[in-house]
Amino acid sequence: MKILKAEHLGMCFGVRDAIALALNTARHGPLTILGDLVHNETVLVGLRERNIQMARHPDEIATQTVMITAHGASDHALQLAQGHGRKVVQATCPLVHFAHRALAQLVQQGFHPVIIGQHQHVEVRGLTEDLTEFDVVLSAEDVARLAPRARFGIVAQTTQPVDKVAKLVGLIRQRFPTAEVHYRDTVCQPTKQRQQAAIDLAQQVDVVVVIGGAHSNNTRELVNTCSRFCPRVHHIQTVADLRPEWFYPDDTVGLTAGTSTPDELIHQLENWLQTRLNIVVQHPEPILA
């Protein structure tokens, strides 16, 4: 039995920077984070242990300093957070800022905004809350419900799979052949790299373990991607979720992780596999075209 580790494991730079900013800000006084800084419960527990508070709505903020999460926020949400003279610190990922700018430019140019993503995801809400008119799509059925427009301007939630985004953009162009359809690629590079690494990994193993938060979109998409190429895929949040019966003696086990998964959790997973199942850690071979 052996384990293959996917490339690009560990936290992406946006998550690392957001956590570091929160910890540094909290050293100078009480801090409330508006929403979940990242979608990983282990990280959130660590922040709470350092007396960093969490609030779901600006009305719940009890400190004079408030932080916007890595997922970003609308101008409307920022104004609410700034109420009562509060200081707002932004931990928004630079690649989410890029998505905001891309969408704003399309709207200014007269395109009807379409966002490919999960309608209720915090990042998508941040993109849409300042708009008077928009559509959010995530399936062919959503595209079928779009009203005809002369011009469509499309961006994507930064953690959406690139193949799904390309398919939906193609469906919009197919459904509205006379419309001007302009797509700005806003899927972030760490997501693209991790998705491709997951595909390479899943084709070489018998079982894949994906470690990441239950509410993390990029982690769920890694699970979906791996499931297309490997019949046995398990999503865990911590090593406590692991089950020895998932693994057989002759298995090659693949390991990948969401972009907000702490290195410590990845090391714990490796140690569990090595000590409980006597697995040898290797790196996957590149998939040749």
Neighbours of 145 (CB within 10 A): 9
Going from the C-alpha of 45 to that of each of 2, 9, 59, 196, the distances in angstroms are 32, 21, 22, 30
Distance separating alpha carbons of residues 196 and 279, to the nearest angstrom: 24
Q: For residue 80, what are its two tokens?
A: 């609410």
Q: Which string of DSSP letters, residue by residue, matches 68-133?
A: E-TT---HHHHHHHTGGG-EEEE---HHHHHHHHHHHHHHHTTPEEEEES-TTSHHHHHHHTT-SS
Residue 81: closest CA among 47, 36, 119, 35: 35
Instruction: Report DSSP state, residue 210.
Output: E
Among candidate residues 7, 41, 60, 123, the one labeled active-site is: 123
189-202 vs 217-229: helix crossing angle, rounded to 10: 30
Distance separating alpha carbons of residues 115 and 154, to the nearest angstrom: 6
Burial per residue of 112-133, b for 16 or more beta-carbon CB atoms within 10 angstroms, e otherwise: bbbbbbbeebbbbbbbbebeee
Our answer to whether residue 123 is catalytic in this structure is yes
Token match 């905004």: residue? Answer: 113
Q: Where do runs of H (alpha helix) occur along the chain?
A: 13-26, 41-49, 75-81, 94-108, 122-128, 140-144, 162-175, 189-202, 217-229, 263-277
Token match 């903020």: residue? Answer: 61
The amino acid sitting at 165 is V
- Residues annotated as catalytic (active site), given as ranges: 123
